Structure 1
Amino acid sequence: MSLEAFSDEVLLALVGRGEESALQQLFRRYAGAFLGLARRMGLDSASQEDVVQEAFSKVWQNARAFDPRRASARAWLLAIAHHTAVDHIRRLEARPKPLEAEEEAEAFDLPGAGLDEEGHLNRIRLKQALAQLSEEEREVIEVLFYQGYAHQEAALKLGVPLGTLKTRARRALARLKGVLREA
């Protein structure tokens, strides 16, 4: 039986029961997105591959903890990849490089990274939604989620109190969620 037709949520349930073929299917669907995320956070090629491998290892170990009532499978998987990349950056004691304007377009469109049409459309929607945020909100999103800084480090980098940064982050994420729902 082919697993291609199964939803991500079903595949995660199967992974939670030890089905390696379900993990392989999730890998085919998400490896490109995980690589792109690690790339966007400034990691080199070898580190990007390490992040993908480590993230899927965490998916294998923690699939039973997935609760579809709390988040979509895609959000859960990408959160694991994001946290893994942040941990990797911290272990290397490296700071991710900020994106240059010409690199930004590449970060949303990674040729050969295994992206499907839906993934490409999601990246376009995200880019359009980010463009609707204020400069202050975009800056907070970039520093926290794309550059991988912890809240306290981000507050220092942006020169704002920690509470202010957290408020801006909540507001930015709420606005981003609203803009994406409208689309």
Structure 2
Amino acid sequence: MPELDASDTDAATRLGELLVRVAAGDRQAFESVYQLASGRLFAICLHLLRDRGDAEDVLQEVFTTVWKKAGQFDPAKASAMTWLSMTARNRAIDRLRAAPPRAMDDLSVIDDLPDADAQPPVAAEQASDRERLARCLDTLESKRRALIRAAFLDGSSYEELARRIGSPLGSVKSWIRRGLGQLRVCLEQ
């Protein structure tokens, strides 16, 4: 069975129906959900965790959660893929929070790190870039500015933003795309 294509509404509907069957304990439906969604969910885990082994472990946890909690899926609140993606994202974030800070094996690399205080011209240029970005952000309409900040500075997904403001996903993507275009034009001046 091929992986789910986001533009295929029939497949999205089928995925929702499969989750309902998984909630009833249907193992074949569970296998189908895995085949349809595992690639995308693995990509989410890998993007957040940056480690293939951790991403594989979290993906397994995600599907254990799906098997146990498929009854919590409500198609009236979100699409099946959104529910699955949020489950994967939340599990990956839980893994990140639970992990101890990674220690440096060889502290000699500290000597190779640049000292930001020793390079005033670089620090001045970075400050100037930040000021230009802030000025250009201020020229945007407030909704676009808020969406861009939430998406790129806070790390919110487009789906989260659409739910948060109660607007269609396509509209949120368009507003952000247009805002980024305006921002680019402003920064190039």
More helix by share: 2
The answer to whether the 8 A contact 1:12-1:66 is kept is yes
| Paired residue total | 120
Match for 2:171 among 163, 171, 178? 178
Which residue does 2:148 correspond to in 1? Answer: 138
Match for 2:93 among 67, 71, 86? 86
1:45 and 2:52 aligned: yes
TM-score w.r.t. length of structure 1: 0.54
- What amino acid is the match of 2:155? L
- Partner Cα distance (1:17, 1:41) in 2: 31
RMSD: 3.3
- Partner Cα distance (2:174, 2:18) in 1: 25
- What amino acid is the match of 1:89? L
Structure 2 residue runs without a partner (length 5+): 5-10, 103-142, 176-189
Name which one, 1 or 2, has greater alpha-carbon Rg: 2
Over the matched positions of the two proteins, sequence identity in percent amounts to: 28
- Partner Cα distance (2:14, 2:174) in 1: 21
Which residue does 2:40 correspond to in 1? Answer: 33
Matches within 5 A, 1:1-183: 7-94=14-101, 137-142=147-152, 143-145=154-156, 170=164, 174=167, 177-180=170-173
- Partner Cα distance (1:94, 1:141) in 2: 25
The answer to whether the 8 A contact 2:49-2:92 is kept is no
- Partner Cα distance (1:10, 1:174) in 2: 25
Which residue does 2:128 correspond to in 1? Answer: none
Structure 1 residue runs without a partner (length 5+): 96-132, 147-166
The answer to whether the 8 A contact 2:45-2:89 is kept is yes
Question: Shift in Å at residue 170 of structure 1?
Answer: 4.3
The answer to whether the 8 A contact 1:55-1:84 is kept is yes
C-alpha offsets along residues 108-153 of structure 1, whole Å, 9 cap, x if unaligned?
A: xxxxxxxxxxxxxxxxxxxxxxxxx95763342243347xxxxxxx
The answer to whether the 8 A contact 2:16-2:80 is kept is yes
- Higher relative contact order (CA closer than 8 Å, sequence separation 6+): 1
SS at match of 1:36: helix
1:94/1:26 Cα in 2 relative to 1: closer, same or farther (>3 Å)? Answer: farther
C-alpha offsets along residues 15-51 of structure 1, whole Å, 9 cap, x if unaligned?
A: 0011111111111111111111112214300010011
The answer to whether the 8 A contact 2:22-2:29 is kept is yes
